Chains A and B, each alone.
Chain A
Amino acid sequence: MEIDREKKLSLLKRMLLIRAFEEKAEELYQQKLIPGFVHLSIGQEASTTGSCMALRPDDYIISTHRGHAHILAKGADPRYMFAELFGRSTGYCKGKGGSMHIADFSRGILGANGVVGGGFPIMVGAGLSIKLRKTDQVGMVFFGDGASNRGTFHEACNMAAVFKLPIIFVCENNGYASTSPAEKMVAGGSVAGRAKAYGIPGYITDGSNVLEVLEVVHEAVEWARSGHGPAIVENETYRYKGHFEGDRQKYRSMDEIHMYRKNRDPIDKFERLLLEEGCLTIEAVAEIRAETAACIEAAVQFGLDSPLPEPEDALKDLYVNP
């Protein structure tokens, strides 16, 4: 596929926005401005951005507990996201969802799911709905190496394959299911390799290379959109932060994290490439970074300025027709 300068710039901008969002979320969590848990995906930006930018606005995604990036990559507004993280009434879910449960149905974001592997069966239903409504949408369900061991993954792959549903299963293999290394928990050597059992395409990408991810996912999306059925894409990636904020990370070394940050950072790599190609100047990069920081600051301010819900709002939104 042709990836023009404009598309490349939008990939970079989206990755920078996600990184800035996550770093700010970390800071705000440490300042105790965000209640509950926060699962950050710093380091995985190329996987998420490359995947979502292969989609159309009317395509569906389902995200995970580590979901801020997917939602931003699909175009959600960081103001309503921060408001949700702060538990404000202006948040995407009016403060009822929080970090693990952000959705924006107007953008095809069918929600982040707090249950590992909870998104697969729901995406099968969205795929079935696409087929019954005879549209040419596709659905993309994100998951980690850990979720590939849930029964839901296997049921959903089988059902999507026998019904030829337009679903792209995007595994963001960051090497660890919470504290457990993928190499100890995933049989068969890879998640994408399991595609063979269902007779569907399986791809593995260098998840630190946003262009590679975009190209491969684009191919899988075209396959699904043209009626051939589902595909699995496994992006080999890495998270720099713990499973959750506050994770002591005894299961891996600081050296390992440092090595990835230094040699395989998706944003550094892509920025360097764009500079080398002459797509961007150092000044232009600085300008984009400054714009991104300002956007995040404004989003945080919007959230902090927003009202808290009224306590009795807890009783609303249970039923459409009570």
Chain B
Amino acid sequence: MAVREITCSQAIAEALAEEMERDDTVFILGEDLVSNGGIFCQFKGLPERFPGRVIDTPISETSIVGSGVGAALTGMRPIVDMHFADFVTTAMDEIVNQMAKIHYMFGGQAKLPMVLWAPDGAGISAAAQHSQSLESWLVHTPGLKVVVPSEPADVKGLLKAAVRDDDPVIFFQHKRLFKQTGPVPEEPYLIPLGKADVKRAGTDITLITYSRMTYVCLEAAQKLEEKGIQAEVIDLRTLKPLDFDLIAQSVKKTNHVVVVHEACLTGGFGAEIAARIGEELFEHLAGPVVRVGAKDVPVPFSPVLEQYVLPQVEDILEGVDKALKRKQQALFIPRAANVR
């Protein structure tokens, strides 16, 4: 299969073009989409190619998400653009009480095939209200599926699968990955929801991560290799459904785990992974399951503050030291106290 290098933005536009071409019921709804193909140019070319199917709305997030629900219930496959993932807060009733519950609450009568596409994450000095990683809120709501891809090939395959899925899917796209390039096959393909991916094979420790932190973990793994430690990097890709089988397979091999996410540490998805590993794989562990996440403050504006709050390569290395119980003879110098 022919492969070329494209960005995540291009992967998004390609995925949606293919799905809109294939299925007339697919349409995109949100603010400021038509003139530039979205504020991140993520839907570039689609408004011209599919007139009337990329729809600009008033600034009414509550009604935009609710509209997605109503359209999905009546035969359409909407993709709702959330502008910034932070704005899910203005449509929480629609997401949590309506979108997530309607199929179940009505006894399975109606299906709700919609994608809530939400650009999340920090690192561009967008400050506290435009930088959050809120996936654990939504994973905590039964009825939703949650996708958190990293590389362009995954973005494309998972987005196509999300559009075809008959359940509501929250698709978090990290803002700093829009320009990230990677090899993507020319031919159309799907990546099923609920399958994690080993981005780097290793035998000594498992780094479990997702979204942009996948790249940071790969960088950390490179540094670890220089010290003779072979880290396996697992990109979960979807948090719900969760591919625990792949986690188990890796942990049984490496016996050491660090879970890494950009969301703040307390109550983050890392806690869920750590708990499940503790419950189900205890006998395979040779050290503590360590979590690395952002510090428990809002994301600050000034780059120096923002960098301090977000997890860095050094934090992962420090986490590895802790997981390998090498505190007495640490391989790396601790950066700060965002590792527990």
Q: Which residues of A contact B (CB under 8 A)?
A: 60, 91-97, 101, 103-105, 110-111, 113-115, 118, 120-130, 132-133, 151-152, 155-156, 158-159, 162, 316-322
Contact A128 B70 (CB under 8 A): yes
Contact B107 A93 (CB under 8 A): yes
Binds A, one of B58-66, B123-131, B287-295: B58-66
Contact B110 A156 (CB under 8 A): no
7 smallest A-B Cβ distances: which pairs? A121-B66, A125-B70, A125-B67, A93-B107, A317-B108, A94-B107, A320-B166
Q: Which residues of B contact A104 (CB under 8 A)?
A: 109
Q: How far is the CA of A152 from the CA of B61 in the complex (A)?
A: 10
Among candidates B73, B107, B111, residue contacting A125 with C-beta atoms closer than 8 Å: B73
Among candidates A96, A127, A129, A319, residue contacting B167 with C-beta atoms closer than 8 Å: A319
Contact B97 A128 (CB under 8 A): no
CB contact under 8 A between A101 and B78, given known A124-B70, A152-B66: no
Q: How far is the CA of A275 from the CA of B107 in the complex (A)?
A: 43
Contact B58 A158 (CB under 8 A): yes
CB contact under 8 A between A151 and B62, given known A96-B104, A125-B78: yes
Give B282 Cβ to nearest chain A Cβ, in Å. Answer: 26
Contact B241 A322 (CB under 8 A): yes
Among candidates B55, B74, B78, residue contacting A110 with C-beta atoms closer than 8 Å: B74
Give B69 Cβ to nearest chain A Cβ, in Å. Answer: 5
Among candidates B62, B65, B71, B103, residue contacting A317 with C-beta atoms closer than 8 Å: B103
Chain B interface SS verdict (over half): mixed
Contact A118 B97 (CB under 8 A): yes
Q: How far is the CA of A121 from the CA of B95 in the complex (A)?
A: 12
Contact A60 B67 (CB under 8 A): no
Q: Which of B41-60 contact A (CB under 8 A)?
A: 52-53, 55, 57-58, 60
Q: How far is the CA of A320 from the CA of B145 in the complex (A)?
A: 11
Q: Which residues of B contact A125 (CB under 8 A)?
A: 66-74, 78
Contact B143 A319 (CB under 8 A): yes
Give B111 Cβ to nearest chain A Cβ, in Å. Answer: 5
Contact B107 A97 (CB under 8 A): yes
Q: Which residues of B contact A320 (CB under 8 A)?
A: 103, 108, 111, 166-167
Number of interchain pairs (Cβ within 8 Å): 145
Known contacts A162-B58, A318-B143, A319-B167, then 16 further A-B pairs from the complex at CB < 8 Å, ordered by chain A residue = A60-B74, A92-B106, A93-B107, A96-B105, A96-B107, A103-B106, A120-B66, A121-B65, A126-B71, A126-B73, A128-B70, A129-B74, A132-B53, A133-B75, A152-B63, A159-B63
Q: Which residue of chain A lies nearest to B70 when distances are taken between CB atoms in the complex? A: A125
Q: How far is the CA of A127 from the CA of B66 in the complex (A)?
A: 11
Among candidates B73, B110, B167, residue contacting A321 with C-beta atoms closer than 8 Å: B167
CB contact under 8 A between A316 and B108, given known A126-B73, A128-B70, A128-B71: yes
Q: How far is the CA of A118 from the CA of B143 in the complex (A)?
A: 18
Q: Which residues of B contact A115 (CB under 8 A)?
A: 93, 97-98
Give A230 Cβ to nearest chain B Cβ, in Å. Answer: 13
CB contact under 8 A between A97 and B106, given known A133-B75, A320-B111: yes
Contact A121 B166 (CB under 8 A): no
Contact A118 B93 (CB under 8 A): yes
Q: Which residues of A contact B102 (CB under 8 A)?
A: 111
A and B contact pairs by CB, cutoff 8 A, 24 listed: A93-B107, A96-B106, A103-B109, A105-B110, A110-B73, A111-B105, A111-B110, A114-B97, A115-B93, A115-B98, A121-B63, A121-B65, A121-B69, A124-B67, A125-B67, A129-B76, A132-B53, A151-B62, A152-B66, A156-B66, A158-B60, A318-B143, A319-B103, A319-B167
Q: How far is the CA of A83 from the CA of B60 in the complex (A)?
A: 38
Contact B73 A122 (CB under 8 A): yes
Q: Which residues of B contact A128 (CB under 8 A)?
A: 29, 55, 67, 70-71, 76
Q: How far is the CA of A97 from the CA of B60 in the complex (A)?
A: 29
Interface membership of B298, Cβ < 8 A: no
Q: How far is the CA of A101 from the CA of B67 in the complex (A)?
A: 19
Q: Which residues of A contact B73 (CB under 8 A)?
A: 105, 110, 122, 125-126
Q: Which residues of A contact B104 (CB under 8 A)?
A: 96, 317-318
Give A132 Cβ to nearest chain B Cβ, in Å. Answer: 6
CB contact under 8 A between A93 and B109, given known A120-B66, A129-B71, A152-B63: yes
Q: How far is the CA of A137 from the CA of B172 in the complex (A)?
A: 34
Contact A129 B70 (CB under 8 A): yes
Q: Which residues of A contact B278 (CB under 8 A)?
A: none
Interface membership of B142, Cβ < 8 A: yes
Q: Which residues of B contact A318 (CB under 8 A)?
A: 103-104, 142-143
Interface membership of B84, Cβ < 8 A: no
Interface membership of B314, Cβ < 8 A: no
Q: How far is the CA of A94 from the CA of B108 in the complex (A)?
A: 9
Q: Which residues of B contact A120 (CB under 8 A)?
A: 63, 66
Q: Which residues of A contact B70 (CB under 8 A)?
A: 110, 121-129
Q: Which residue of chain A lies nearest to B90 when distances are taken between CB atoms in the complex? A: A151
Q: Which residues of A contact B142 (CB under 8 A)?
A: 318
Interface membership of B165, Cβ < 8 A: yes
Interface membership of B94, Cβ < 8 A: yes
Among candidates B60, B76, B78, B106, residue contacting A159 with C-beta atoms closer than 8 Å: B60
Contact A101 B93 (CB under 8 A): no
Q: How far is the CA of A155 from the CA of B58 in the complex (A)?
A: 9
Q: How far is the CA of A130 from the CA of B73 in the complex (A)?
A: 11
Q: How far is the CA of A129 from the CA of B66 in the complex (A)?
A: 12
Contact A101 B105 (CB under 8 A): yes
Q: How far is the CA of A118 from the CA of B98 in the complex (A)?
A: 8
Q: How far is the CA of A101 from the CA of B104 in the complex (A)?
A: 11
Q: Which residues of A contact B93 (CB under 8 A)?
A: 115, 118, 152
Q: Which of B151-175 contact A (CB under 8 A)?
A: 165-167
Q: Which of B278-333 contact A (CB under 8 A)?
A: none
Give A76 Cβ to nearest chain B Cβ, in Å. Answer: 12
